[in-house]
Amino acid sequence: MNPEVVLTADRTLMSDHHGSEFLGFGTCIPAYPLPMSVYQRLFFPPMKNEFGVPKAAPYGLRKVEAILLKNGFNVTVVDPDHLEWYLQNADVLAISVMDPFGWGPASSTFMGLLNKGEVFASIFFKKLLNSEVVKQAKKDGLKILVGGPGSWEFRYAHEFLDENGIDCVVTGEVEIDLPIIIKKLVGGDSTLPKILDVHTVPELEEIPEIVAPSVNGLVEVGRGCPRGCKFCEVALRKLRWCPLDKIEKEILANTRNGQYAGIIHAEDVPLYGVQGVKPDIDKLIPLFELFAKHYEHVSWSHASVAAVSACPDAVEKASEIFLEGGKQRWFGAEVGIETGSPALIKKAMPAKAKPFKAKEWPEIVKNSLGIMHDNSLVPACTLITGLPDETENDVIKTIELLDDIKRYRALIVPLFFVPMGKLKNRDWFSPEQLSDSQKELLKKCLANGVYWAKDLAKGYNKGHLYSPIVNRSLLTFVGLLEFISKRKGLIQ
């Protein structure tokens, strides 16, 4: 008989962030200067649950649930505050992590800048692991397995595993190997390493569809990315696009359980269905129509500025289709700008600008943000500073670009370089290394963020599904950020 498995994630992940992925960034900050309970209400309120079974769960956890169900396991997704009853019969507790030690790019940047305490993602992961319920179950023989996007952080925390009763950490795509790993774990197989990097790549037909709602209705439409940025783990994965019938099954898993807002998830949504870097509008329109047919509100998880510039139609059509009927006023996406320097693009992100040339990078960014602004796509843009090959001139180019794009509605999130992907053996960037121009860059991002976040919260966001709560949360946080920043002389 297969072992019984309980799946969970810490409180910061088992939340719908009031329906806004943007508010998820709030889990990457430390509890300063307000009490933790205030931030919890603002950024990661508990997911509704029935007898401890959450209404929706992080997409990755839903995928693991589907894999185990397909392989005949008895598996339940459980809210982290309701584990007691479910752990009585469980053989394995599998925990999904996003940023277990707060070492991810967003957390390490906010921590480095504020230099106060620990970020929520890390606090709540440790809280879960050290709860009396989990400790008692561990004494009774429970095996603990950890996986998910943040599992790479355990490479730097081997001793934490033994100290906290974690039996195995898995990285990579687990569709094929997970059932075997769990059997080995429960059987006490001594060949199972403490940290297991899975390199098996599942074909699309080996990836089962989720069977219950994901947080904010997120549905994966593709995996991998063809752009090959050297600091990115995803760049190492093979590119695959899901057919529409597979995607529709996952949307229906959400809507039949009352989830009517959703996110199209891929590393570069406008590239849906193509193997190169030129979007195909004929593939995109049916995708957008499929989501709009079932969901009342639709967003993209990620898009590249190069794909948007190469195919403005992708944004225009998405806007037309999603906003038709007036229930939705805008849609969001995370967009990686990373730098304003063509030289750095060439060195560290060889295919980021394609099908254009690296030297055109600042123009591509400006053009794309203009297209997004005109078509009600609000991007959360990331900038990376501290890349191993970054020069002072690169930083100055980024500052110039920021000045050029400040008129476009966008939230700009600066991130410190974290060694990942092909650069995983390089040194971490720390705030002590910040040059004057890097500090200037951060201040500009802050001023831009405060300005546009207020615009969003005060009016532009009206009519969004969760607008009253989201707007209140945003306004409170932005007001606080503005107050602290002014007091510290960071903005005027």
Give contact residues for ligand SF4 (rule: CB under 6 A). 225, 227-229, 232, 234-235, 267, 304, 336, 352
Q: Taking the alpha carbons of 120, 125, 129, 134 in that order, is the dihedral positive or negative?
A: positive
Alpha-carbon radius of gyration of the chain = 22
**54 or 105, CB closer to ligand SF4?**
105
Cβ-based nearer residue to ligand SF4, 137 or 229 = 229
CB of 303 to ligand SF4, least distance (A): 10
Residue 236: CB minimum distance to ligand SF4, A: 9
Q: Work out how close the CB of 218 gets to ligand SF4 at its nearest, in angstroms, rounded to a whole number.
A: 16
Q: Which is nearer to ligand SF4, 165 or 228 (CB)?
A: 228
Smaller CB separation from ligand SF4, 229 or 395: 229
Q: Mapping DSSP to helix (H, G, I), strand (E, B) and coil, where does residue 325 land? A: coil
Integer angstrom CA distances of residue 444 from 155, 264, 406: 34, 30, 9
Q: What are the structure tokens assigned to 456, written together?
A: 């969003």
Q: What is the residue-wise DSSP string for 432-449?
A: GG--HHHHHHHHHHHHHH
DSSP 195-226: EEE------GGGSPPP-SPBGGG-EE-EE--T
Nearest CA among 320, 303, 314 for reference residue 269: 303
Provide, rounded to whole angstroms, the least separation between the CB of residue 59 and ligand SF4: 16
**Min CB(353)–ligand SF4 separation in Å:** 10
Closer CB to ligand SF4, residue 46 or residue 224? 224
CB of 267 to ligand SF4, least distance (A): 4
Closer of 134 and 348 to ligand SF4 (Cβ)? 348
State which residue, 134 or 384, has the beta carbon closest to ligand SF4: 384
Classify residue 189 by burial, with Cβ atoms within 10 Å: 0-12, 13-18, 19+: exposed
Rounded CA separation 351/348 (Å)? 9
Q: Which is nearer to ligand SF4, 107 or 254 (CB)?
A: 107
Tell me if 110 sits within 8 A of 484, measured CB to CB.
no
Cβ at position 107, least distance to ligand SF4 in Å? 17
Q: How far is the CB of 165 from ligand SF4 (least distance, A)?
A: 33
d(CA 136, CA 78): 17
Could you tell me the smallest distance in angstroms from the CB atom of residue 370 to ligand SF4? 20
Q: 93 near 131, Cβ under 8 Å?
A: no
Buried b (16+ CB within 10 A) or exposed e, 82-120: bbeebbeebbbbbbbbbbbbbbbbbbbbbbbbeeeeebb
Of 417, 418, 489, 490, the closest CA to residue 449 belongs to 490
Specify the residue, 301 or 461, whose C-beta has the smaller distance to ligand SF4. Answer: 301
Closer to ligand SF4 at the Cβ: 350 or 479? 350
Q: How far is the CB of 233 from ligand SF4 (least distance, A)?
A: 8
CA distances from 454 to 41, 106, 327 (A): 19, 21, 22
Work out how close the CB of 387 gets to ligand SF4 at its nearest, in angstroms, rounded to a whole number: 12
User: Which three-class secondary structure state does DSSP give residue 57?
Assistant: strand
Q: Which residue has the tokens 């093979």?
A: 238
Give the residue among 234, 207, 233, 203 at the shortest CA–CA distance from 220. 207
What is the DSSP track for 89-142?
A: S-SEEEEE-S-TTS-SHHHHHHHHHH--S-BHHHHHHHHHHTSHHHHHHHHTT-
Give min distance, CB of 238 to ligand SF4, in A: 13
Q: Which is nearer to ligand SF4, 18 or 352 (CB)?
A: 352
Phi and psi at residue 288, to the nearest 5°: -65, -40
Cis previous bond, 355, omega within 30: yes
Closer residue to ligand SF4, CB minimum distance, 92 or 284: 284
CB of 361 to ligand SF4, least distance (A): 13
| Cβ nearer to ligand SF4, comparing 304 with 473 | 304
